[in-house]
Amino acid sequence: MGCAPSIHVSHSGVIYCRDSEESNSPHQTTTISQGTATLHGLFVKTDAADSIPSVLAYQSRQPPPSAAPRRKERRESGGASARSRTPHCCSVEAETQTSSSSVKQASTTEIQVGPMRLTQYPIQVLLIFAKEDNQSNGFWWACDRAGYRCNIAWTPESALECFLDKHQEIIVIDHRNSRYFDAEDICRSIRAVEPSEHTVILAVVPRISADQEETSVLPLLDAGFDRQFMENSSVTACYNELVQIEHGEVRSQFKLRACNAVFTALDHCQEAVEITSEDHVIQYVNPAFEQMMGYCKGELIGKELTELPKSDKNCADLLDNINTFIKKGKEWQGVYHARRKSGDSIQQHVKITPVIGQGGKIRHFVSLKRLHCTNENNKQVYKSHHEEKYTGDNSQSESNSYKCKNRRKDSVDVKSITSQSSDAAPSLQTRRYSSMARIHSMTIEAPITKVINIINAAQENSPITVAEALDRVLEILRTTELYSPQLGTKDEDPHTSDLVGGLMTDGLRRLSGNEYVFSKNVNLSHSHLPVPNTINDVPPCIAQLLDNEETWDFNIFELEAVTNKRPLVYLGLKVFARFGVSEFLNCSEVTLRAWLQVIEANYHSSNSYHNSTHAADVLHATAFFLGKERVKGSLDHLDEVAALIAATIHDVDHPGRTNSFLCNAGSELAVLYNDTAVLESHHTALAFQLTTKDSKCNIFKNIDRNRYRTLRQAIIDMVLATEMTKHFEHVNKFVNSINKPMAPEETSPHSEGSDTECTANIKNFPDNQTLIKRMMIKCADVANPCRPLELCIEWAGRISEEYFAQTDEEKRQGLPVVMPVFDRNTCSIPKSQISFIDYFITDMFDAWDAFAHLPVLMQHLANNYKHWKTLDDLKCKSLRLPSENNN
């Protein structure tokens, strides 16, 4: 050790490799690049012009691959122009591996500053020593060990030049002997140049003897040194010092340098940015802020916010509110009136974010401000900026307005008003204003237009978060499918997606050329059926069963059995009598009986599910619901009659296939009803046709035209409501219009008598009555999961069988399989029931129960759900466990 470095660049431009003959020297071979010169050998003469200061440049190790591009860049920049700027710039790199095992690998280091990731390249050190001695060598070898790039300068001039060329992170200046040069002067001259701002300068001071007094470091600090190093030529001592500096100050400086990038970003940011201290003293404003407020930064920085004129429109409350918010470390956003230097008041959208710093305390507040462009002043401010900024630079102006057009509904962005001065397409904001103006001048407003207008108006003065939330609301309101929940496509259970696809879509998967031949055997006859003459002469076994008709647990399948699959006539007679339907319609019981008979005859007994037993079941549920206090109180007699008739006819002539099937098959009915609510339209139309065709069964023949029209309208509305594509629309409307408004009354302590009040309110609003009737028939239609377990199981078996038959036929006819899970060979009925309940039943019955109070149904629903879950957990795919099958 102790050998001098191997390369020396002289004033004459000659680089000497001294001591390189030594076999153990780490610098045996050197590569010298300067401009085009890349030479190997002991003596290297560069083509550098003029004086090249006495600089030694050395790097003992081959830099790691990650550092290579940087080196290459430096070499490339050593061309003619670079050379003339820095004539002495030379890089000398020894590429032999050092023999020293303790050498640290020079490598790049990843450093995190907040969210920024930086790469720190190997440290560069400049040693400024008047002459070579043990101390300079100590640092030299310490650099070698630490993997730092090292230069040595012997004169103040070469030192400065070398620094200006390489901007070393650490400079070590020999401060032991003032005979050769004045270390403090050198330090000052280096500090006088800008790049030294981030450099750590170390003074090597003479060792003091025991009897000497320690001197203050202050003169050194004043001269620009950062620290002192007591003379110590031990390589380890030098190494430790340098490494500590790297990990401490150099790294902090490196991080600080990154702030420059952030400040540059802020300076170019189009939003106004202001940074204050925790006491609201302005520390920074960006050019956009200066423009917006009309001040230059010199007038703002160092001022307390309270010293600036405030707009009178900001009430003290608002300022207090902001303060309380941000002092708690919370972000505040809102609209704020500010006064410009010129005295104008402008409206700004402001976002103030507290920044936590030292000691976990709030150390700064960062405010981002955008002009809120509703007031004239704002537009003026913007306009003047815009003109100032873009005059004579059309391309920039265009690209700016283009950017603005592409931004998401930047309703509050100042740039949105550019279209006044350019012929760019109107921005969203401008469009909003002009369309608002048009809408306001319209005389006939659709309710949705009114809603949108109200929201638009509310947006004008709301904080940006609210305005943005309202934007989202408007987006949703503008879609037509307001009530259809969006099914997740991938993760959704196939049973649910099949049911939804099968029940809630119409003609989307229609195939041409597959004709579904619809039964034309409309049954107009009723004479061949054994029917009782009056409700009083029904066979005793049937009468006995019907005694129980008012309870929810009434067994419709027993009635089906004893009536030879004609339960609808018998139940109809009984129920219609109970609700005084003949009286209301002013028709004889004979006509009513004939009508029931015709309707029942047009249900397909061959369908396992959609037969007249299902109609009777729905009629039974409807009658049950009509008996509930709230329902009875909310509806009129006409509504009751309409509901009972609707329930009776609601699936008449059902072919046992879904709407999707009919559409896919291109059936006559699908063609007739344009693939829209095909079956429901058919059930209603056919029912009225059958009723009015023959006066013997025309139950409407004796009511006046107006009453007929009202009744007919109510019936049609209810039957159409059973169409499943509108399921969520009906349920949601009911929840929003009936459940929600009732909820506060129910929880209020003075809710006595509120039941009658509430129903009276509903009665006053025919729209609400309509929602109740729709909900009632919908619930009655799919009440089978709320029936006693045995009945529920029977219905599940029947609907599954009907679906299986459809899948069989789809396969036979080469039609699209609408609900592939309903394949008789593979289907898990419990899973399908769980999906049906989860997706369609639970929410709807929760809402209906909340209104009509139906504890028995809800209990059955819970039990039945448990039944299906148990089967599913046991991987059982059928209706019951094998052990229960004999029951």
Report the interface residues with ligand AMP, using CB under 6 A: 503, 650-651, 722, 724, 781-782, 784-785, 795-796, 799, 833, 836
Pairwise CA distance, residues 76 & 55, whole Å:
21
Q: Tell me: is residue 29 an annotated ligand-binding position.
A: no
Q: Using an 8 Å Cβ cutoff, are 96 and 27 in contact?
A: yes
Pairwise CA distance, residues 547 & 554, whole Å:
9
* Comparison of 565 and 578: residue with beta carbon closer to ligand AMP: 565
Q: Tell me: is residue 144 an annotated ligand-binding position.
A: no
We find the least distance from the C-beta atom of residue 879 to ligand AMP, in angstroms, to be 11
We find the least distance from the C-beta atom of residue 553 to ligand AMP, in angstroms, to be 18
* Comparison of 144 and 651: residue with beta carbon closer to Zn ion: 651
* Comparison of 35 and 501: residue with beta carbon closer to ligand AMP: 501
We find the least distance from the C-beta atom of residue 660 to Zn ion, in angstroms, to be 16
* Comparison of 163 and 836: residue with beta carbon closer to ligand AMP: 836
* Comparison of 128 and 715: residue with beta carbon closer to Zn ion: 715
* Comparison of 545 and 786: residue with beta carbon closer to ligand AMP: 786
CA angle 320, 324, 328 (to 5 degrees): 165
Taking CB within 5 to 8 Å according to partner kind, which of Zn ion, ligand AMP, none is near residue 162?
A: none
Known catalytic residue at 610: yes
Q: Tell me: is residue 280 an annotated ligand-binding position.
A: no
Taking CB within 5 to 8 Å according to partner kind, which of Zn ion, ligand AMP, none is near residue 184?
A: none
Task: Let me know how many helices (H) and strands (E) the chain has, helices first.
Answer: 37, 19
SS (H, E, C) 275-340: EEECCCEEEEECHHHHHHHCCCHHHHCCCEHHHCCECCCCCHHHHHHHHHHHHCCCCEEEEEEEEC
Pairwise CA distance, residues 845 & 852, whole Å:
10
* Among the listed residues 410, 377, 416, the one whose alpha carbon sits nearest the alpha carbon of residue 293: 377
We find the least distance from the C-beta atom of residue 532 to Zn ion, in angstroms, to be 25
* Comparison of 241 and 651: residue with beta carbon closer to Zn ion: 651
Q: Tell me: is residue 849 an annotated ligand-binding position.
A: no
Taking CB within 5 to 8 Å according to partner kind, which of Zn ion, ligand AMP, none is near residue 795?
A: ligand AMP
Pairwise CA distance, residues 199 & 125, whole Å:
10
We find the least distance from the C-beta atom of residue 113 to ligand AMP, in angstroms, to be 60
Pairing of strands 200-205, 170-174: parallel
* Comparison of 173 and 777: residue with beta carbon closer to Zn ion: 777
Q: Tell me: is residue 833 an annotated ligand-binding position.
A: yes
Taking CB within 5 to 8 Å according to partner kind, which of Zn ion, ligand AMP, none is near residue 724?
A: ligand AMP
Among residues 349, 610, 730, 860, the one annotated as catalytic is 610
Tell me: does residue 506 bind Zn ion (CB under 5 A): no
Q: How many residues does the chain have?
A: 887
We find the least distance from the C-beta atom of residue 614 to Zn ion, in angstroms, to be 6
Please, which residues bridge with residue 170 across strands?
125, 200
Burial environment of residue 822 by CB neighbours within 10 A (0 to 12, 13 to 18, 19 or more): buried
* Comparison of 149 and 614: residue with beta carbon closer to Zn ion: 614
Phi-psi region of 555 (alpha: psi -120 to 50; beta: other; left: phi over 0): beta
Q: Tell me: is residue 456 an annotated ligand-binding position.
A: no
Coil, helix or strand at residue 767:
helix
We find the least distance from the C-beta atom of residue 599 to Zn ion, in angstroms, to be 13
Pairwise CA distance, residues 522 & 504, whole Å:
27
Pairwise CA distance, residues 813 & 805, whole Å:
12
Q: What is the DSSP string of 704-744?
A: -HHHHHHHHHHHHHHHHHT-GGGHHHHHHHHIIIIIHHHHH
Taking CB within 5 to 8 Å according to partner kind, which of ligand AMP, Zn ion, none is near residue 143?
A: none
Taking CB within 5 to 8 Å according to partner kind, which of ligand AMP, Zn ion, none is near residue 161?
A: none
Q: Tell me: is residue 730 an annotated ligand-binding position.
A: no
Q: Using an 8 Å Cβ cutoff, are 335 and 369 in contact?
A: no
Taking CB within 5 to 8 Å according to partner kind, which of ligand AMP, Zn ion, none is near residue 782?
A: ligand AMP
Q: What is the DSSP string of 348-403?
A: EEEEEEEEE-GGGSEEEEEEEEEE-TTSHHHHHHHHHHHHHHHTT-HHHHHHHHHH
We find the least distance from the C-beta atom of residue 420 to Zn ion, in angstroms, to be 60
Outline where DSSP puts E strands in 60-189.
91-94, 109-113, 116-120, 124-128, 149-153, 170-174
Pairwise CA distance, residues 447 & 458, whole Å:
17
Work out the angle between the directed axes of helices 766-781 and 727-734 (0-180°, nearest 10): 130
We find the least distance from the C-beta atom of residue 690 to Zn ion, in angstroms, to be 17
Taking CB within 5 to 8 Å according to partner kind, which of ligand AMP, Zn ion, none is near residue 868?
A: none
We find the least distance from the C-beta atom of residue 618 to ligand AMP, in angstroms, to be 7
* Comparison of 549 and 781: residue with beta carbon closer to ligand AMP: 781
Q: Which two tokens stand for residue 174?
A: 């020999």
Number of residues that bind Zn ion (CB under 5 A): 2
Q: Which amino acid is at 693?
A: K
Residues 814-833 interacting with Zn ion (rule: CB under 5 A) = none
Residue whose pair of structure tokens reads 């195939």 in the numeric block = 511
Pairwise CA distance, residues 197 & 190, whole Å:
9
* Comparison of 138 and 656: residue with beta carbon closer to ligand AMP: 656
Q: Tell me: is residue 651 an annotated ligand-binding position.
A: yes
* Among the listed residues 187, 219, 184, the one whose alpha carbon sits nearest the alpha carbon of residue 200: 187
Q: Using an 8 Å Cβ cutoff, are 481 and 729 in contact?
A: no
Q: Tell me: is residue 34 an annotated ligand-binding position.
A: no
Per-residue contact string for residues 772-811; x = within reach of Zn ion by CB under 5 A: ---------x------------------------------
Residue whose pair of structure tokens reads 């061959």 in the numeric block = 606
Work out the angle between the directed axes of helices 428-441 and 447-460 (0-180°, nearest 10): 130
Q: In this structure, what DSSP letter does residue 415 have?
A: G
Work out the angle between the directed axes of helices 376-390 and 394-406 (0-180°, nearest 10): 130
Q: Which amino acid is at 8?
A: H
Q: Using an 8 Å Cβ cutoff, are 172 and 128 in contact?
A: yes
We find the least distance from the C-beta atom of residue 650 to Zn ion, in angstroms, to be 5
Taking CB within 5 to 8 Å according to partner kind, which of Zn ion, ligand AMP, none is near residue 498?
A: none
Outline where DSSP puts E strands in 30-108.
30-34, 37-39, 43-45, 55-58, 91-94
Residues 644-663 interacting with Zn ion (rule: CB under 5 A) = 651
Residue whose pair of structure tokens reads 């007739």 in the numeric block = 672
For Zn ion, the binding residues (CB under 5 A) are 651, 781
Q: Binding site for Zn(2+): which residues?
A: 614, 650-651, 781
Task: List, by residue number, the catalytic residues.
Answer: 610
Binding residues for AMP: 610-614, 651, 781, 833
Q: Residues comprising the binding site?
A: 610-614, 650-651, 781, 833
